[in-house]
Amino acid sequence: MTGSPSELPLNNTVPDIPTEIVSEEEMALIEAAFVAARSSIPSIRSPYDFHRNARSIQSITALSKRSFSGRTEIDIEDSGDFAGTLKKIKANESFLHRFRSKKGLSVTDITATEWCEKQMEFVLLRAKRKTTKAMKAGSARHTNLEEEVVKKVKVRVKSKEDIWALKLLNFIIGANQLLFQGLTRELPLIGFAEGVWMVGVIDEICMPATETNMNPKLIDTKTRVRGTLPAEPQRRNGRLQLMCYKYMWDNLVADNFPSREFYKFFALNPHSMLSEEIREKTADSGFPADTLDDVVRFYKNTWTTLPPAYDQLLLRYEFQKDNSLIGEDQFAFDPDWFKNQMHGCLEFWLGEREACYTPEEERWKCRFCQFTSICPANTDHDSTPGPTSANSSSTPN
């Protein structure tokens, strides 16, 4: 590990900032992703004394939202015959099987599907979604927020078991920071819900200051090009995102993490020895792990120390120009609405029906879609667009 502590902007209100260790492989992805995708996080190399504070768990791992976002570019010849491409899909090969069989369904996949299923279909079969200036600005803002409470250093990985171990350890580190310091950001989740493996990254989690409520509060920050609150479809999409996190969180607190199915689905060897560097860092941090199975046990045990998430969720909207607060949307988790949305989304991903077009009253979304020229639903090029939003963790505008 190299570098200088001065490379990281420190926040004096948060003492003893934990460290995330980033693999060289993931750093290459992160650096490329900063140009190509919304979820990029720049490299920060910094030495860290793993014994500075016995109360805070030190960081071992590295995760970028890129690794969870599920945005994929498919090698399909662009013949111009999209209908013909669809016919080539075997009946028993759903989108979930074809494109998410080794990485899981991301929360971003779910919100992008809710935004427009047809657009999600185009993204999967033709090309990845383009990244706009606004999306890059939103991503940079999230990086700055994360750097206020986390520092990153690098560690080498040698196997896919190492990579998954780092993802799980990244959660353990963040969860301990939440318990000891009352705040953590960019916390990864890996869980099994509604019959599918799901992954996501929560922007921010804080512990309430009152003793009457000990449930952690989930928060998501959206950045906006305009200094106004977004249209209802965008707010609805953000609510779905946070409800996904709440649902995953509570499932994991209830010990719903089937280890054997996890190894099978992701084709992992639970007894694979982790790299020497990872083993050294876990030992230094107080939870020595030799194998992936050791890390999974620590992951599951960490969840037993956490309460269910608070039922009140918070969307925070900031103005990109100066990071000022535009407004907040606090709302209650609605289990019936969420289940209905999830089931509709999974029908698409599991191949139980064809993709739906965005409803007529929301066709203004098409004005911000890169696939407008080839989408059969695009019959009105003169419709007035809705408000533009730049959400680094949400759907296209």
Each residue's pLDDT tens digit, 118-154: 999 999 998 766 666 665 665 666 566 555 566 666 7
Non-local CB neighbours of 47 within 8 Å, separated by 6+ positions? 1, 2, 3, 5, 153
| Residue 79 forms part of a structural domain | yes
14 vs 347: which has the higher pLDDT: 347
Q: How far is CA 48 from the centre of its chain?
A: 26
Q: Determine the pLDDT at residue 2.
A: 36
| Residue 232 forms part of a structural domain | yes
- Reading the block at residue 20, the tokens are 């995330």
Q: Determine the pLDDT at residue 149.
A: 65
Asked if pLDDT for residue 225 goes beyond 70, the answer is yes
Q: How confident is the model at residue 213 (pLDDT cuts 50, 70, 90)?
A: confident
Mean model confidence pLDDT for the chain: 76
- Look up the domain containing 346 and give its range: 5-374
| Residue 384 forms part of a structural domain | no
Least confident span in 44-53, 193-202, 314-323: 44-53
| Residue 389 forms part of a structural domain | no
- Other CB atoms closer than 10 Å to residue 276's CB: what's the count? 10
Q: Determine the pLDDT at residue 355.
A: 96
Show contacts of 145-148: CB within 8 Å, 24+ apart: 145/185, 145/203, 145/204, 145/221, 146/41, 146/185, 146/186, 147/8, 147/9, 147/44, 148/9, 148/11, 148/14, 148/185
Q: Determine the pLDDT at residue 10.
A: 32
The domain tally of the chain equals 1
| Residue 394 forms part of a structural domain | no
Task: Tell me the β-bridge partners of 225.
Answer: none
Number of helices and strands in the chain (H, E)? 13, 8
| Residue 35 forms part of a structural domain | yes
As a whole number of angstroms, the distance between CA 347 and CA 340 comes to 11
SS3 393: coil
| Residue 90 forms part of a structural domain | yes
Q: Determine the pLDDT at residue 246.
A: 98
Q: What is the DSSP string of 81-124?
A: -HHHHHHTS-TT--HHHHHSTTT-EEHHHHHHHHH-HHHHHHHH
Helix residue ranges, H only, the chain: 24-36, 66-69, 82-87, 95-99, 107-115, 117-125, 133-147, 160-181, 232-253, 259-265, 276-284, 292-304, 335-349
Direct distance between the N- and C-terminal alpha carbons of the chain, in angstroms, rounded to an integer: 39
Are the beta carbons of 303 and 321 closer than 8 angstroms? no
| Residue 122 forms part of a structural domain | yes
pLDDT tens sequence across 19-39: 454 444 444 444 443 333 333
Q: Report yes or no on whether pTM surpasses 0.75.
A: no
> Which H/E stretch holds residue 23?
strand 19-23
Q: Determine the pLDDT at residue 81.
A: 52
As a whole number of angstroms, the distance between CA 219 and CA 183 comes to 11
Q: Kindly state the average pLDDT of the residues 79-85.
A: 47
